[in-house]
Chain A
Amino acid sequence: MSITLGNKWLMSIRVLTAVIIGYGLTVLYTVAISKTLMILGLTKVNATVSMQLLSFLIYSIVVMWVFSVASLRKLWLHITYSMIISLVLIYLINMGLQ
């Protein structure tokens, strides 16, 4: 089983990761995707609002993913990767849009 129910500390870390880091990830993803959509020709307001609307689905998926990855180390590694990728994407698009 992927989750050791016995270890309360590991479980708490996972819950906090899902709730707080998961929310942060969701925001990063929505910003990155909405900026991508803007490049593809969607207006700023439409890109923003539609990604806000989709954010709840993204957040749910992120939370489920946090609970499904077996090792915490692997989980944190993935989180770091995807944060860096979204941030770089946002940065590049911002440069391009200016």
Chain B
Amino acid sequence: MKDTFTKSMSWLHTWASLLLGWLLFFIFLTGTLGYFQKEITQWMKPELPISVNKFTQQELVQIAMNHLKKEAPSSKKWLIKLPNSRENILSVTWSHVRKDKATAMGGHGGGRGKRTTHIINPHTKEIVKPRRTGGGGLLYRMHYRLHYVNARTVGRYIVGIASMLMLIGLITGIIIHLRKILKDFFTFRQDRNLHSWLDGHIFTSVLALPFHLMITYSGLAFFVFTYMPLTALANYDGDMRNYIQEAFPREKAIKIQGIKEPLASIEQMRKNAEAYFGSPIKSISIINQGDSSAIVNFTRENSTLFSSEKADKVYFSGIDGKMIENQSPNRPKATRARDILTGLHRGDFANIYARWLYFLSGVLGTFMIATGLVIWTKKREAKQKDTLGFKLVDNLNMVTIAGLPIAVAVYFWANRLIPIDVPKRAMQEADAMFIAWLAVSVFVFSVNSRKMWVVLFYLSATLYALLPISNFFLTGRHLAITIAQGDWTLVWMDLMLFFTGLAFWYTGHKVQKKISS
């Protein structure tokens, strides 16, 4: 019985994983890049001023406040984002709140007035207008809502189905290997057959298994209300609004009094907030600005894992500058459990080391999927090599595993090569990425040979390795400048791109030797 159970689990593992394996590869790759989305965005906006971090927070807040007073004196909602260890940007945002709508302490609500954001160069105090790009954020968003499809109706469900299959793939994988998991983990058979692929698959799976389980499960937890609405509907007699209100209690809105009063000293509040957090400030929002009901809200740079926890925010009365109690309602414990899961998934709390660990775990997950997909073909190539299904899987593997990195590289190149002032520029960058991917597919399916692995890997290598070099000609933000100025985000980005190029060259070289032998 046990044997047949393992066999049926093995069947499920194979087919559940294969079905959307290529999509899962896409989700894992773009999601992994998402851990450095801000760094990628910064790289994709070379017009941003360099070394903003030489200013103190006091100076930056002063510059931002002066800008807001000049540009938006009548706006009721101001937001200042300060540069931090990940983002070298000083920006201000304001919006005009509709009169009948009040805004909550945290800055929510208030109707959706027109929002304007200015990035300020603190050296010149002028507005910076970087090129329009989706940046790293676009890659990050693709991993949970795809592209070209409606995120709410289509993207979310497709990604949900893929995540469910991933979860089943993980659990069945554990069951298959349960008894021999430790033994397999320490086994590395270097012979050039199925076994070395299996070992690679098991190694990448087991090494980051807690991460794989956490990331898959917490990914599902984000949209638990979309995926499992019937449970709520049954318990709340079909009243979804009542359920949402209980599960996510909203902050109370603060009415605008209509009495004009000037703001107390922001600098004093900033100092108090900094002392309260024991760490620098990340953002400041001023709600009901210019009114006697004004409230100033600070968030800290190093957020905790419990990101919605009150420890990450502090409030001051805008009139007398005194700290006031956070009146936002407590979320129910189960909602908090979900918050912790989603917090773990996003990794906002992670410092630079934890962030790299997240990134490397994501890379391992991507490798796990890639090796799994290759194993499917390796197991069947002796018997089914000429069947249509085999060819399809084999080619799709090439298109996805070797082709998607090319598409991402093309996205970066498009960022450099599309003229600055064309309309819908950010969209065109994404279009370039998917056109490149489509071109790779057409190429792979028409050539129909395993030699394409090598071609694609070498193409990837070239595209990535040349990106840092292109900066010498296209942006002026090249390594000589960024190292001299100490802009380590850009230095690391260029180095990582070059290293990625080298890694693809090495992979191509290895595969070439394997195919020709």
Interface residues of A (CB under 8 A from B): 1-3, 5, 27, 30-31, 34-35, 43-53, 55-57, 59-60, 63-64, 67-68, 70, 90
Q: In the complex where A53-B341, A64-B171 touch, is A27 in contact with B234 (Cβ < 8 A)? A: yes
Interface 1/0 per residue, B370-383 and A, CB below 8 Å = 00000000000000
Assess the B337–A44 pair: CB atoms within 8 A. Answer: no
- From B11, B164, B334, contact of A46 by CB (8 A): B334
Assess the B234–A64 pair: CB atoms within 8 A. Answer: no
B142 within 8 A of A: no
Residues of A within 8 A of B231 (CB): 27, 30-31, 34, 48, 51-52, 55
How far apart are the CA atoms of A79 and B333 in the complex, in Å? 33
B1 to chain A, nearest CB (A): 9
How far apart are the CA atoms of A7 and B232 in the complex, in Å? 39
- From B11, B224, B236, B243, contact of A67 by CB (8 A): B11
Assess the A1–B167 pair: CB atoms within 8 A. Answer: no
B332 within 8 A of A: yes
Q: In the complex where A30-B228, A52-B228 touch, is A67 in contact with B235 (Cβ < 8 A)? A: no
The 7 A-B pairs of least Cβ separation, nearest first, read: A49-B334, A50-B334, A45-B246, A46-B334, A30-B231, A52-B228, A31-B234
Residues of A within 8 A of B164 (CB): 56, 59-60
B8 within 8 A of A: yes
Residues of B within 8 A of A50 (CB): 334, 337
Interface residues of B in 211-258 (CB under 8 A from A): 217, 220-221, 224-225, 227-228, 230-232, 234-236, 243, 246-247
Residues of A within 8 A of B335 (CB): 45, 49
A96 to chain B, nearest CB (A): 14
Interface residues of B in 320-360 (CB under 8 A from A): 332-335, 337-338, 341
B351 to chain A, nearest CB (A): 27
Interface residues of B in 1-45 (CB under 8 A from A): 4-5, 7-9, 11-12
B138 within 8 A of A: no
Residues of A within 8 A of B225 (CB): 52
Interface residues of B in 441-469 (CB under 8 A from A): none
Q: In the complex where A48-B236, A60-B164 touch, is A2 in contact with B12 (Cβ < 8 A)? A: no
Interface residues of B (CB under 8 A from A): 4-5, 7-9, 11-12, 164, 167-168, 171-172, 175, 217, 220-221, 224-225, 227-228, 230-232, 234-236, 243, 246-247, 332-335, 337-338, 341
Q: Select from chain A the residue with minimum beta-carbon distance to B232.
A: A48
Centre residue among B12, B221, B231 by max chain A CB count within 10 A: B231
B13 to chain A, nearest CB (A): 10
Q: Select from chain B the residue with minimum beta-carbon distance to A90.
A: B234
Q: Select from chain B the residue with minimum beta-carbon distance to A30.
A: B231
Residues of A within 8 A of B228 (CB): 27, 30, 52, 55
Q: Select from chain A the residue with minimum beta-carbon distance to B237.
A: A94
Residues of B within 8 A of A3 (CB): 7-8, 11
Q: In the complex where A27-B234, A35-B235 touch, is A53 in contact with B7 (Cβ < 8 A)? A: no
Centre residue among B167, B227, B234, B243 by max chain A CB count within 10 A: B234
Q: Select from chain A the residue with minimum beta-carbon distance to B219.
A: A56
Pull 16 A–B residue pairs with CB atoms less than 8 Å apart, ordered by A: A1-B4, A2-B7, A2-B8, A3-B7, A5-B11, A27-B234, A31-B230, A45-B332, A49-B332, A55-B228, A56-B164, A56-B217, A60-B164, A60-B168, A64-B172, A68-B8
How far apart are the CA atoms of A73 and B175 in the complex, in Å? 25
How far apart are the CA atoms of A85 and B421 in the complex, in Å? 65
Assess the B5–A2 pair: CB atoms within 8 A. Answer: yes
